[in-house]
């Protein structure tokens, strides 16, 4: 990252911003096992068609998904599979933090019970 100029860093920040929305993560998760159309993604994500379409547009803008028109349907698929590696890394870190925080809470909870 140290060799990136300001313009490149702005693009990196926007890439991370694209991943910083739970609905977009749901959509990416739904696409993990193959391409889907907007109706399928709407059903799987629990969002509205307009909302899912808006998120798909942004994900496509940043090269995370690609779209292919077939007749009256548009199908979306993952354009950059490395996004899943990134998400696994982040999820692993968050999981580790949650375990650590739970352990700390147990320690303090046990300490409070002993002092009462």
According to the model, what pLDDT value does residue 1 have? 75
Task: Specify the pTM.
Answer: 0.79
3-state secondary structure of 61: helix
Measure the CA–CA gap between 73 and 68, rounded to whole angstroms.
8
Model confidence pLDDT, tens digit, residues 62-79: 999 999 999 999 999 999
Distance of CA 114 to the CA centre of its chain: 42
Residues forming beta bridges with residue 66, ordered by sequence position: 77
3-state secondary structure of 75: strand
Tell me which DSSP letter residue 20 carries. Answer: S
CATH class for the domain made up of 1-80: mainly alpha
Residue range 23-36: mean pLDDT, rounded: 96
According to the model, what pLDDT value does residue 74 have? 93
Domain borders along the chain are 1-80, 81-116
């Amino acid at each position: 990252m140290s060799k990136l100029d300001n313009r490149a860093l702005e693009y990196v920040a926007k890439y991370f911003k694209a991943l910083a929305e739970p609905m977009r993560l749901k959509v990416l998760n739904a696409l993990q096992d193959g391409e889907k159309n907007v109706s399928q993604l709407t059903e799987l994500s629990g969002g509205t068609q307009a909302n899912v379409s808006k998120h798909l547009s942004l994900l496509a803008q940043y090269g995370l998904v690609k779209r292919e028109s077939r007749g009256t349907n548009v199908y979306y698929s993952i354009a950059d599979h490395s996004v899943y590696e990134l998400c696994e890394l982040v999820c692993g870190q968050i999981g580790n933090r949650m375990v650590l925080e739970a352990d700390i809470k147990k320690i303090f909870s046990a300490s409070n019970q002993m002092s009462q």
